[in-house]
Amino acid sequence: MPETVEKKPSHNPLPNKERAKLPRQRVPEQDPQVRAHNFQEVNLGFPPQQARQESLRCIECPKPGCIEKCPVSVDVRAIIDLILAEDYFGAASKMREDNALPAITGRVCPVEDQCESGCVLGKKGEPVGIAYLERFVADWERSTGNYGVPKAAPPTGKKVGIIGSGPAALACAGDLIQMGHKVHVFEALHELGGVLVYGIPEFRLPKDIVRHEINVLRRQGVEFETNCVVGKTVTIDELMNGEGYNAIFVATGAGLPRFLGVPGEHFNGVYSANEFLTRVNLMRAYRFPEFDQPIYP
């Protein structure tokens, strides 16, 4: 059972019965006739008025299931109340206490199985659009340059290496740097982000968004190194024994495909999902004809 959250003065002026009657806000999107001819992001995000309207729907449960269902226990209730107070910097700061990648999770996190599945409103209607609100706050940060970076603990003198730069690696780096440790991320490829940049299409998660979140981690002190294949360029033993790392977090992901074992699957023009997405993303096919098409038509 989720812990009872301390009741604080609310910025929501509506009684609970009125909140429950409010319809869920629909996020603006590119017109289908327009997006059929580009690879730009389909969802456009909430403007402030819609973010407030969606925030008004929260009924401030004493035992919020949204927090219990969130893998990193983001304080959704507090963030929503800060949005209602129009304290977007405060909301960003509160969010980054637990989530190092809000602009990413606000776009691609499976919220329907996590935080939103714990929302009481979802039992009889539609849950609060938590991901849309998370994205709104993160996009406000990016557009204004006001980053809600939480204060780090005093330096511990400990040094941690992270192998890989995908979502697990970046989330780990965000937590460790807040704890006061030195963090160095090693990436085998030339582009940071792992599956966030080579596995998710541009129209779903723009590469600039991933770079933005990585740059926020840089501002916090995380160091990044690309084109470094741990095990070949440098070994874990060398890092631990020669370069003074106290711990190594291996976050290499599941990059190898699983084949069906059917005739013809290795022919030219037949792709695994991994190869197809990697070609399209890292070779920038989403910017055709500026960049050539790296797959067979």
CA 263 to chain centre: 39
User: Model's pTM, two decimal places?
Assistant: 0.88
- Give the domain-ending residue among 215, 234, 250: 250
Can you give the length of the chain in residues? 297
- Give the domain-ending residue among 144, 172, 205: 144
Residue 24 to residue 244: CA distance in whole angstroms:
52
Residue 42 contacts residue 30 (beta carbons within 8 Å): yes
- 37 plus 89 within the same structural domain: yes
Instruction: Provide CB contacts within 8 A for 275, sequence distance 6+.
Output: 257
Residue 161 contacts residue 223 (beta carbons within 8 Å): no
> Where in the sequence is the domain holding 61, given as residue range(s)?
16-144
- 99 plus 183 within the same structural domain: no
Give a yes or no: residue 233 inside a domain.
yes
Give a yes or no: residue 265 inside a domain.
no
Taking only the tens place, the pLDDT of each residue in 59-77 is 999 899 999 999 999 999 9
Give a yes or no: residue 222 inside a domain.
yes
Residue 185 contacts residue 173 (beta carbons within 8 Å): yes
Give a yes or no: residue 59 inside a domain.
yes
Give a yes or no: residue 23 inside a domain.
yes
Give a yes or no: residue 231 inside a domain.
yes
**How many separate domains does the chain show?**
2
Taking only the tens place, the pLDDT of each residue in 137-194 is 999 999 999 888 888 999 999 999 999 999 999 999 999 999 999 999 999 999 999 9
Q: What is the mean pLDDT of residues 261-288?
A: 87
- 183 plus 104 within the same structural domain: no
Residue 116 to residue 109: CA distance in whole angstroms:
11
Give a yes or no: residue 290 inside a domain.
no
Give a yes or no: residue 8 inside a domain.
no
- 134 plus 166 within the same structural domain: no
CATH number where 113 lies: 1.10.1060.10
1 pLDDT exceeds 50?
Answer: no
- 127 plus 178 within the same structural domain: no
